Homo-oligomer: A and B are copies of this chain.
């Protein structure tokens, strides 16, 4: 018998109604039936992105939409600030380099958030900077960036702010229009709760003006082509039809639950996870700027993070994530993002306790679950156990 519990920061569990929607006979994308679905999906995306601007859908992983941001907003020779501090922050730098754009790297130690003042200082030094690229929730470290403050810093500047919210959208607050975020990028397999394969991007008026001037080569990821198509509820190229249909289901769920309730749910689950880790004597990797989507925890001395992940998966069917790049073996990551309930978090903490004990870690049984329960019970008036 095999039963699995997915607690990874992408893919995240897919609700059964979305899974079943994908099992229905495929329909053609240029039919009134699909166009109605796509129209509704585009409208619901605006709600989740908290924007009045069009949200464009690409068939690709989230990285495709990051590339679209770089190659549509900029031209070779341009300068752009790339906020690093993790594997995905570094991706912005790599993308800029691929297109002959000069990255001005603002780094943060992995596990800490960038100081928005450091970004502001770079912007003040150079009025010709065309863009600031940063990350809402850095999946590799579990760090949350203060996007609102960075948006404040870019507002009066020539540069546009582009945020990789692949891992954050639907888990963390990001008020795109209100804060003045010019470009928000996301993916389908995280807070949006469907399988990977779709990527999204929204652009402000200021960003669209940059798109008009961009000289980087592009075709599949051309935002101009995409904008023209979306005018007639279409995509320039055949979309991943079944994923769009699944997405409508999960976006409807999100609209029903409401963004505020969703963000509160994530906040409580994240807090419960952190308190549990601390009660178990484990060190949080990003204690000062923890995200509500994923918690990175240092593997205790003498225990290999990779082996822990494998043990939990093989023996208990609970899939958490290991460390990426320089953190391989050193951290493990528990996601509490998307279709995740209090029950799932309690399960994961309990199994983590078992696995650690089996691997020789000296901890008191049950203390993690106890600490999590305290948080969850405190929040019982605020958050339903099930979304």
Q: Which residues of B contact A24 (CB under 8 A)?
A: 19
Whole-angstrom CA separation of A197 from B62 in the bound complex: 14
The answer on a CB contact under 8 Å between A25 and B13 is: yes
In angstroms, how far is the closest chain B Cβ from the Cβ of A31?
7
Residues of chain A from 195 to 233 with CB closer than 8 A to chain B in the complex: 195-197, 216-222
Asked if A385 lies at the interface with its beta carbon under 8 angstroms from chain B, I say no
Distance from A200 Cβ to chain B, minimum over Cβ atoms (Å):
14
- When the two chains form their complex, are residues B238 and A10 in contact, meaning their CB atoms are under 8 A apart? yes
Contact of A59 among B98, B99, B196 (CB under 8 A): B196
21 contacts between A and B (CB under 8 A): A4-B27, A6-B26, A11-B29, A11-B241, A19-B23, A22-B23, A26-B195, A28-B321, A59-B64, A61-B239, A61-B240, A62-B238, A71-B217, A98-B218, A195-B240, A195-B241, A195-B243, A196-B239, A197-B197, A197-B242, A220-B221
Any chain B CB within 8 A of the CB of A379? no
B23 pairs with A11, CB closer than 8 A: no
B-side contacts of A64, CB under 8 Å: 59-60, 220, 237
CB of A325, distance to nearest CB on chain B (Å) = 13
Closest CB-CB distance, A122 to chain B, in whole Å? Answer: 23
- Given A19-B23, A197-B242, A240-B240, output 16 extra A-B contacts at Cβ < 8 Å: A6-B28, A8-B28, A19-B24, A19-B25, A22-B195, A26-B189, A28-B321, A60-B60, A60-B237, A61-B220, A62-B238, A63-B219, A63-B237, A195-B241, A195-B242, A196-B238
Q: How far is the CA of A196 from the CA of B59 in the complex (A)?
A: 9
> B216 near A217 (CB under 8 angstroms)?
yes
Q: Which residue of B lies closest to A195 (CB)?
A: B242
A257 within 8 A of partner (CB): no
Which residues of chain B come closer than 8 Å to A221, judged between CB atoms?
220
Chain B residues near A20 (CB-CB < 8 A): 23
Inside 8 A of A242's CB, which chain B residues have their CB? 22, 195, 197, 242-243
Distance in angstroms between the alpha carbons of A189 and B94 in the assembled complex: 32
Decide if A85 is an interface residue (CB 8 Å cutoff).
no
Are A27 and B10 touching (Cβ within 8 A)?
A: no
Interface residues on A, range: 35 or more
Q: How far is the CA of A22 from the CA of B246 in the complex (A)?
A: 11
Contact A25 B10, beta carbon cutoff 8 Å: no
A14 CB within 8 Å of chain B: yes
Given A195-B26, A240-B196, CB of A220 within 8 Å of CB of B60:
yes
A 278-332 contacts with B by CB, 8 A: 313, 319, 321
Task: Report yes or no: B25 in contact with A22, Cβ–Cβ below 8 A.
Answer: no
Is residue A116 within 8 Å, beta carbon to beta carbon, of the partner chain? Answer: no
Separation in Å of the A132 CB from the closest CB of chain B? 19
Is the beta-carbon distance between B95 and A219 smaller than 8 angstroms?
Answer: yes
> With A25-B19, A28-B8, A241-B195 given, is the CB distance from A61 to B59 under 8 Å?
yes
- How far is the CB of A113 from the nearest CB of chain B, in Å? 24
Give the CA-CA distance A187 to B237 in the complex, in Å: 12
Q: Is A387 positioned at the interface, with any CB of B under 8 Å from its CB?
A: no
10 tightest CB-CB pairs across the interface, nearest first? Answer: A197-B240, A23-B23, A61-B237, A195-B242, A22-B22, A98-B219, A196-B238, A19-B23, A63-B237, A61-B238
